[in-house]
């Protein structure tokens, strides 16, 4: 039985990288499509696809996927109650943000980190466009970077225009599969082109992802810097929502809260108004940042109000 790595999806066809280095196209075998899962895309970039040949047309078909080590999932922006798997089987994430043009909020960062923390996927937070920052911007950035470095996330500062932090970033990618994520326009594709000009990714304005039509189910695309070093570029999303998560589960995906959870009086504590809550105490003593606790509460309210629909 043949298998291969899914590197791109156009909706009905998938590009697959075979172990012999060849790229082929395959479509889904009927059965997979009828799968009753809540995923808008049963097969995602990074999946190891199990392949067979259609005896009649001799087209390649995907008859299944190997069990995933991990994946990044969000609620589908188009289909209420459905999930979109952004990518599977990744070693690390690069969350690219910018202070301005466009602004990346800590709320967005925290929602993404939750998805990565669900599978303990290490995430490096990159602040790009350093060349655009004035003194005020630099102070704002330092405050945000401080929140995340204190709780164990690595921070990199980059500028494509001034060639700053690029080599450092390139070094982080070696021999890994890295998901590149962040809002549209933060410079994801520009950074990757700077690291490897052969990639020739489209930058600025409309990306190559834009014209894939309404029924496109996945939008990530894997590129090889070499046979061991892979990046998954994404077009960037406006929002990152979660579904199918119990409200009391959320704090398990906030790295600094996770370790304090055993100290809450109730083991299903939501850290909102329960007595003897270790999270609230840590927030009041300044050990958990104001920003993170505030974002936690927002996400809690959001998930709580949606949870009923998903049960
Ligand atoms: N000033 C400045 N502009 C940048 C930098 N990196 C990218 N850009 C610009 O930001 C825009 C969006 O970049 P792009 O790579 O397409 O962003 P993506 O949507 O995240 O892939 C383009 O016009 C880039 O030239 C940077 O470090 N500094
Ligand atoms: Mg791009
Ligand atoms: Zn608590």
Mean pLDDT of 132-156: 98
User: Are 169 and 263 found together in one domain?
Assistant: no
Among 181, 190, 202, which is best to mutate for testing ligand 1, by the most ligand atoms less than 8 A from CB? Answer: 190
Q: Whole-model pTM above 0.75?
A: yes
Question: Atom 7 (ligand 1): residue with closest C-alpha?
Answer: 187
pLDDT tens digits, 104-122: 999 999 999 999 999 999 9
215 and 293 co-located in one domain: no
Whether ligand 1 lies within 6 angstroms of the CB of 205 is answered as no
CATH number, position 36 = 2.40.50.140
Together in a domain, 155 and 294: no
More confident residue, 38 or 58: 58
* HEC letters along 61-105: EEEEECCCCCEEEEECCCCCCCEEEEEECCCEEEEEECCCCCCCC
- Taking the CA of residue 128 as reference, the ligand 1 atom at the shortest distance is 27
Q: Please, which pLDDT band fits residue 276 given cuts at 50, 70 and 90? A: very high
pLDDT tens profile 221-253 = 999 999 899 999 998 888 899 877 889 999 999
CB of 162 shorter than 6 A to ligand 1: no
Which tops the pLDDT comparison, 193 or 307?
193
| Residue 45 backbone phi and psi in degrees, to 5 | -60, 135
Please tell me the residue having the least CA distance from ligand 1 atom 16.
Answer: 203
Domain containing 259: what range?
Answer: 247-310
- CB of 159 closer than 6 A to ligand 1? yes
Q: What is the CATH number for 255?
A: 1.10.40.50
**Minimum CA distance residue for ligand 1 atom 26:** 129
Which two structure tokens, joined as six digits, stand for 201? Answer: 């990714």
In this prediction, residue 79 has a pLDDT band, given cuts at 50, 70 and 90, of confident
Residue 239, domain member (yes or no): no
**For residue 272, is pLDDT > 50?**
yes
Question: Do 98 and 176 have their domain in common?
Answer: yes
Residue 154 is predicted with a pLDDT of 98
Residue 61: per-residue pLDDT: 95
Q: Comparing 164-178, 199-213, 244-258, 282-296, which segment has the lowest mean pLDDT?
A: 199-213
Dist. CA 278 → ligand 2 center (Å): 41
Is residue 117 included in any domain, yes or no?
A: yes
What is residue 36's predicted lDDT score, i.e. its pLDDT? 59
Least confident of 85-89, 198-202, 240-244: 240-244
Does 196 lie in the same domain as 97? yes
Q: Give the distance (Å) from ligand 3 centre to CA of residue 257.
A: 9
Percentage of the residues of the chain whose pLDDT score is greater than 70: 92
- Number of independent structural domains in the chain: 3
User: Is the CB of 186 inside a 6 Å radius of any atom of ligand 1?
Assistant: yes
Whether residue 173 has pLDDT greater than 80 = yes
Is the CB of 193 inside a 6 Å radius of any atom of ligand 1?
A: no
Ligand 1 site-directed mutation target among 182, 204, 207, most atoms within 8 Å of CB: 204
| Confidence (pLDDT) at 243 | 79
Chosen domain end from 210, 233, 256: 233
Q: Which of the two residues, 218 and 182, has the higher pLDDT score?
A: 182
Give the integer Cα–Cα distance in Å for 206 and 234: 13
Residues 209 and 251 placed together within one structural domain of the fold? no
Q: For position 76, what pLDDT does the model report?
A: 85
Q: How confident is the model at residue 26 (pLDDT cuts 50, 70, 90)?
A: very high
C-beta of 184 in contact with ligand 1 (< 6 A): yes
Q: By the 8 A CB rule, do 240 and 74 touch? A: yes
Q: How many CB atoms lie within 10 A of CB 262?
A: 8
d(CA 117, CA 125): 14
């Amino acid at each position: 039985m043949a298998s291969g790595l899914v590197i791109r999806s156009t909706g009905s066809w998938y590009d697959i990288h075979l172990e012999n280095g060849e790229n082929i196209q395959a479509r889904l075998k009927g059965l997979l499509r009828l799968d009753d899962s809540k995923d808008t895309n049963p097969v995602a970039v990074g999946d190891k696809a199990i392949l067979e040949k259609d005896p009649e047309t001799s087209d390649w078909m995907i008859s299944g996927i190997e069990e995933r080590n991990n994946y990044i999932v969000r609620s589908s922006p188009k289909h209420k109650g459905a999930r979109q798997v952004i990518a599977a089987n990744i070693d690390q994430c690069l969350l690219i943000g910018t202070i301005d043009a466009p602004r990346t909020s800590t709320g967005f960062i925290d929602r993404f980190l939750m998805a990565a923390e669900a599978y303990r996927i290490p995430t490096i937070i990159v602040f790009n466009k350093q060349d655009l920052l004035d003194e005020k911007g630099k102070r704002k950035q330092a405050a945000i970077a401080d929140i995340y470095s204190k709780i164990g996330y690595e921070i990199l500062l980059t500028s494509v225009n001034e060639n700053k932090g690029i080599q450092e970033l390139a070094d982080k990618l070696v021999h890994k599969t890295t998901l590149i994520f962040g809002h549209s326009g933060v410079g994801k594709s520009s950074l990757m082109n700077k690291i490897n000009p052969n990639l020739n990714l489209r930058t600025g304005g409309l990306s190559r992802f834009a014209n894939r039509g309404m029924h496109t189910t996945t939008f990530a695309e894997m590129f090889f810097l070499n046979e061991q070093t892979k990046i998954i570029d994404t077009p960037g999303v406006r929002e990152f929502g979660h579904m199918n998560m119990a409200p009391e589960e959320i704090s398990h995906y906030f790295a600094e809260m996770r370790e304090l959870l055993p100290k809450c009086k109730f083991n299903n504590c939501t850290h909102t108004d329960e007595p003897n809550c270790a999270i609230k105490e840590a927030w009041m003593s300044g050990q958990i940042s104001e920003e993170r606790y505030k974002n936690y509460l927002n996400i809690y309210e959001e998930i709580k109000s949606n949870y009923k629909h998903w049960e």
